[in-house]
Amino acid sequence: MVRDSYAIKTHIFCSLQAFIRLEKMRSEEKISNWYEVQRNLFTNVVREYIVNNLTSTCDA
């Protein structure tokens, strides 16, 4: 699928902005690598899903 040039430029800008934010967090030692943010987010999402489903299952 082909996008128009404005959408492509926006995508490139957002990608660069995300890269810069990750590098800034890494340089300030808030994270040890880029994947740490993804791993922590994934862990929290899975935890919330399990907790929500356990409470709804236990109530039944």
Segments making up each domain of the chain, as ranges: 5-59
Distance (Å, whole) CA 48 – CA 37? 17
The model carries a pTM of: 0.56
- Only one residue has tokens 């128009």, namely 4
pLDDT score for 57: 59
Q: How high is the mean pLDDT in each 10-residue block of the chain (60 residues)?
A: 84 94 90 83 87 70
